Amino acid sequence: MTVPDYQTLMLPLLRIAADKQEHVVSEVVQELAEHFRLTPDERKQLLPSGRQAAFDNRIGWAKTYLAKAGLLESTGRGRFHITKRGLDVLTSSPNAIDIGFLKQFPEFVEFQSPSRRAESQPAAELKTPEELLEVSYQDLRVSLAQELLERVKKCSPQFFEHLVVDLLVAMGYGGSRKDAGQAVGQSGDGGIDGIIKEDKLGLDIVYIQAKRWEAAVGRPTVQAFAGSLEGQRARKGVLITTSQFTADAKEYVNQIEKKIILIDGEQLAQLMIDYDVGVAGFATYHVKKVDLDYFGDGP
């Protein structure tokens, strides 16, 4: 048979996890390959990029979508187990699980809302190939950003502080990573988690506060950070959180003389992607067009 699509894989994958045990993705790949009676050649069929087997990739996406709907839960790198909701779904004996089925769960709807996956087929048919490629790219980026933020929220406060410095250094601040790293946790003064040079010459200093929070960060916290800057006679600060900032917190930084940049969880994940912090390249596609100058048709 042909390699099943990722939606076809969802229900069999969930059934494997029904034993309530922790499962490893690599072992599930083999089990599902046997379930669908795939031949060795079908198992080796690669994505167009040539970087990964199509079957493995589709299982990965099936697991991701089930997790976004709250039916599976990640327990570590390449590991997962079923949730109570997943068990309840299996109790209802569904004939299949697909995108339409998962839309009954609010978490999955929220996961899809920033992207345009939910467009109707007729709407998709109206798009050019370049537009469809862009939509797919944005979908992948949204999924990656959410996965990054989930992992960051689970890391230790110390790891988060170092991650923040790694990001700022990657963005061009702080000179060397060694110099910037020595500043982390050295101040110990009223909410200052780190100090980093604004440029490689150290012409100015930026003070950092990193909050790995779930609740929204309000004005009192930002105001206290501004007070810490005043105590250091500092003019600039960066306050980074894994959650969000309230409207009054954002309004406050626009009213004060000091320059405080607020970076929430969503922006943090996007910056990590842009500056290659905590992410690695998977595949590159070069979209080419005819060189009109070569054929003498240029302006």
Q: pLDDT tens for the chain, 299 residues: list them.
A: 689 999 999 999 999 999 999 999 989 999 999 999 999 999 989 877 677 888 998 999 899 999 999 999 988 778 899 999 999 999 999 999 999 999 999 999 888 775 445 444 555 555 666 667 777 888 888 889 988 998 898 888 888 888 888 898 888 886 666 666 555 444 444 556 777 777 666 677 888 888 888 889 999 999 999 998 888 888 889 999 999 999 999 999 999 988 999 999 999 999 999 999 999 887 777 788 777 677 766 55
pLDDT for res 17: 97
- Given a contact cutoff of 8 angstroms between Cβ atoms, the answer to whether 194 and 183 are in contact is yes
DSSP H helical ranges for the chain? 6-16, 25-35, 40-44, 54-68, 84-91, 99-102, 106-112, 121-125, 129-154, 157-170, 177-183, 219-231, 247-255, 265-274
Region of residue 173 (phi > 0: left; psi between -120 and 50: alpha; otherwise: beta): beta
CB neighbourhood size of 215 (10 A): 11
Domain ranges of the chain: 6-113, 157-274
Domains 6-113 and 157-274 share a fold: no
User: Which amino acid, one-letter code, is at 260?
Assistant: I
pTM: 0.67
Domain 6-113 CATH class label: mainly alpha
pLDDT for res 123: 55
CA distance 158 to 148: 17
CB neighbourhood size of 218 (10 A): 14
- State both tokens at 77: 């790198």
| H-run or E-run covering 172 | none
pLDDT for res 116: 45
pLDDT for res 228: 87
- In sequence order, the 6+-apart residues with CB closer than 8 A to the CB of 250 are 262
CA distance 169 to 206: 12
CATH label, 157-274, candidates 3.30.70.20, 3.30.450.20, 3.20.20.70, 3.40.1350.10 = 3.40.1350.10
CA distance 291 to 282: 28
